């Protein structure tokens, strides 16, 4: 490849309301942690094109985004609010992998 394979796009922190949370149980303590969010995709207009330059085409069309939470928190201690803070895309000659990160 003749360019950098990984690109990070930082987003202006915009509040999002989770449609669902992704929870993992910590195997040793048995505590449940929120590790991710499912949110409405407000970066695609009519699920046809992105309002952000460089927004990956692969993310458009579903109407939702699955986000990794930068810092996990206990399910029993919900965050007051969440926001999207960055998009990391890694590309090869054949594929692209995108991770959307949220904070609280």
- What are 7-35's pLDDT values in tens digits? 888 888 888 999 999 999 999 999 999 99
pLDDT for residue 53: 59
pLDDT tens readout for residues 82-104: 999 888 888 787 877 888 899 99
pLDDT tens readout for residues 47-63: 555 556 556 666 666 78
pLDDT for residue 54: 58
DSSP string for residues in 11-79: EEEEEE-EEEEEEEE-TTT--EEEEEEEEE-TTEETTTEESSTT--GGGTTSSEEEEEEEEEEETTS--
């Amino acid at each position: 490849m003749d360019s950098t394979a990984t690109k990070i796009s930082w987003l202006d922190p915009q509040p999002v309301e989770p449609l669902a949370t992704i929870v993992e149980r910590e195997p040793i303590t048995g505590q449940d942690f929120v590790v991710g969010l499912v949110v409405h995709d407000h970066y695609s207009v009519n699920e046809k094109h992105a309002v952000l330059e460089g927004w990956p085409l692969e993310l458009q069309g579903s109407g939702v985004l699955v986000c990794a939470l930068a810092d996990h928190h206990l399910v029993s201690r919900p965050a007051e609010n969440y926001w999207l803070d960055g998009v990391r895309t890694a590309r090869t000659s054949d594929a692209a992998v995108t991770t959307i990160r949220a904070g609280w």
